[in-house]
């Protein structure tokens, strides 16, 4: 039986970029007779407007049953004033934790055609191809206790808990080592083991685990240095593995090395390789509804879906080749436009990828 995909467009530019990714899915579905089936659901602000919560239990159940989920992005100023418990982002955190999506893969790959769009010098970034493996279901974003409390002297104090268990460290460590095996056999683990006990354990557990992967070289780096090295000499890295919060920050920094966050896909996987696929960027309310958003991050997320959850690496490759082909033609959405290239809209970009795929 064909695989089943749940599509959550989300808010802001979500519907615009997902529409283009869906066109690509439809084309490969019929071209290669994959038998994929699709259903749509609401998440984030659109779900709050309709149901009062960012993710209903019913949608969560449908997500559980799907083989893969394609998500646009959630959030926007319309919902910013809401109580934290029902903000759009809560939907994201809920689906990640409830589905056990602990391994977030965020490749930062600079397409050679976009060297000029990067904020760094060409010699620093050309050929850049690194993979950030971020732990997504634990760490300080989920740690209890947490909250804002009133101290005896009457002043308020905010607090969160940074913790990782050995089993949590081992499972994300395995993901990083396995990924490195398919790449350049190098893993750099990022922590703050000079200050945070939770990351001292992180470092120790990864050192022990590395004995099982003698073909992969493991190194360690403090997060402040890693931030510096990412902009100084990013090509020294192959796979970076880190906890939830450090990974959130470093992967956004890495995103900018590649020119635009509009180019970067991501995968969030569970232990069986089922996953949710989404662009690294948010709902970009500043450009929503204008038809100028870059759909390539979402289209490349579809490629990751085919590779990691649907077992179709050849078709994943074909999509990536088509994206390269479109960039070769000089087609650019506004975020990656440089002088001498051809500016196109969101849907023109999607159409160009499809033309390249079916040529």
Q: Which of residues 302-341 bind ligand NAI (CB under 6 A)?
A: 335
- Phi–psi pair at 74, nearest 5 degrees: -125, 160
The Cβ of residue 173 has, within 10 Å, a number of other Cβ atoms equal to 25
x-or-dash pattern for ligand NAI, window 20-39, by CB under 6 A?
--------------------
To the query of whether residue 192 is one of the catalytic residues in this protein, the response is: yes
DSSP H/E element including 10: strand 4-10
To the query of whether residue 248 is one of the catalytic residues in this protein, the response is: yes
Q: Which of 224, 271, 317, 328 is catalytic?
A: 224
Q: Which partner in Mg ion, ligand NAI, none is near 286 (CB below 5 to 8 A by kind)?
A: ligand NAI
Report the sign of the C-alpha dihedral through residues 170, 174, 177, 179, in that order: negative
Q: Which is nearer to ligand NAI, 27 or 288 (CB)?
A: 288
Q: How far is CA 13 from CA 29, 71, 227, 232, 334, in A?
A: 24, 11, 29, 32, 14
3-class secondary-structure state, position 221: strand
Q: Cis ω on the peptide bond leading into residue 71 (within 30° of 0)?
A: no
293 is in an annotated binding site: yes
Stretch that binds ligand NAI, among 130-138, 228-236, 278-286, 313-321 (CB under 6 A): 278-286
Measured at the CA of 260, the angle between CA 23 and CA 334, to 5 degrees, comes to: 70
44 is in an annotated binding site: no
> On the CB side of 186, how many CA atoms lie within 13 Å of its CA?
11
Q: Which of 90, 192, 277, 335 is catalytic?
A: 192
To the query of whether residue 252 is one of the catalytic residues in this protein, the response is: yes
Among residues 110, 193, 287, 299, which is the contact residue for ligand NAI, using CB under 6 A?
Answer: 287
356 near ligand NAI, judged by CB under 6 A: no
The CA-based diameter of the chain, rounded to the nearest angstrom, is 71
Q: How far is CA 225 from CA 123, 185, 250, 266, 324, in A?
A: 21, 21, 11, 24, 33
275 near ligand NAI, judged by CB under 6 A: no
CB 269 within 8 A of CB 135: no
15 near ligand NAI, judged by CB under 6 A: no
Q: How far is CA 147 from CA 142, 199, 260, 273, 314, in A?
A: 11, 22, 35, 33, 47
The Cβ of residue 44 has, within 10 Å, a number of other Cβ atoms equal to 29
Q: Which is nearer to ligand NAI, 13 or 130 (CB)?
A: 13
Among residues 175, 242, 258, 283, which is the contact residue for ligand NAI, using CB under 6 A?
Answer: 283
Torsion angle of alpha carbons 253, 255, 259, 260, nearest 10°?
Answer: -120
Q: Which is nearer to ligand NAI, 76 or 138 (CB)?
A: 76
134 near ligand NAI, judged by CB under 6 A: no
Among residues 174, 285, 337, 345, which is the contact residue for ligand NAI, using CB under 6 A?
Answer: 285
Q: Which partner in Mg ion, ligand NAI, none is near 281 (CB below 5 to 8 A by kind)?
A: ligand NAI
Among residues 297, 315, 323, 353, which is the contact residue for ligand NAI, using CB under 6 A?
Answer: 297
To the query of whether residue 11 is one of the catalytic residues in this protein, the response is: no
To the query of whether residue 224 is one of the catalytic residues in this protein, the response is: yes
Q: Which partner in ligand NAI, Mg ion, none is near 75 (CB below 5 to 8 A by kind)?
A: ligand NAI
Q: Residues in the chain, how many?
A: 359
List contacts with ligand NAI (CB under 6 A).
13, 17, 73-76, 89, 92, 261-262, 278, 281-287, 293-294, 297, 335
Catalytic residues: 141, 192, 224, 248, 252
């Amino acid at each position: 039986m064909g695989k089943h995909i749940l599509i959550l467009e989300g808010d802001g530019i979500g519907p615009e970029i997902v529409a283009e990714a869906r066109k690509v899915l439809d084309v490969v579905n019929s071209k290669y007779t994959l038998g994929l089936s699709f259903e749509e659901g609401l998440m984030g602000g659109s779900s709050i407007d309709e149901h009062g919560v960012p993710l209903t239990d019913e949608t969560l159940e449908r997500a559980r049953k799907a083989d893969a989920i394609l998500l646009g992005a959630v959030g926007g100023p319309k919902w910013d004033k809401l109580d934290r418990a029902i903000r759009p982002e809560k939907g994201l955190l809920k689906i990640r934790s409830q589905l056990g999506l602990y391994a977030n893969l965020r490749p930062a790959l600079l397409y050679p055609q976009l060297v000029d769009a990067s904020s760094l010098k060409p010699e620093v970034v050309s050929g850049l191809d690194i993979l950030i493996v971020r732990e997504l279901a634990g760490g300080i974003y989920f740690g209890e206790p947490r909250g804002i409390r009133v101290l005896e002297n009457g002043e308020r104090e905010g607090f969160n808990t940074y913790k990782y268990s050995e089993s949590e460290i081992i499972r994300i460590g395995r993901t990083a080592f396995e990924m490195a095996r398919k790449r350049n056999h190098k893993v750099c683990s990022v922590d703050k083991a000079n200050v945070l006990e939770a990351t001292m354990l992180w470092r120790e557990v990864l050192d022990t685990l590395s004995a099982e992967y003698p073909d992969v070289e493991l190194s360690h780096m403090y997060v402040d240095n890693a931030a510096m090295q990412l902009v100084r000499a990013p090509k020294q890295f192959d796979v970076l593995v880190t906890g939830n919060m450090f990974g959130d920050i470093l992967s956004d920094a890495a995103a900018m090395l590649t020119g635009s966050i509009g180019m970067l896909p991501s995968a969030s996987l569970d232990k069986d390789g089922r996953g949710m696929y989404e662009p690294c960027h948010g709902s970009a309310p500043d450009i929503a509804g204008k038809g100028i958003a870059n759909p390539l991050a979402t289209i490349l997320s579809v490629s990751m879906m085919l590779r990691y959850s649907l077992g179709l690496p050849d078709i994943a490759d074909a999509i990536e080749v088509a994206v390269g082909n479109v960039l070769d033609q000089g087609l650019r959405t506004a975020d990656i436009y440089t002088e001498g290239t051809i500016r196109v809209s969101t849907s023109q970009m999607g159409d160009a990828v499809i033309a390249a795929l079916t040529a």
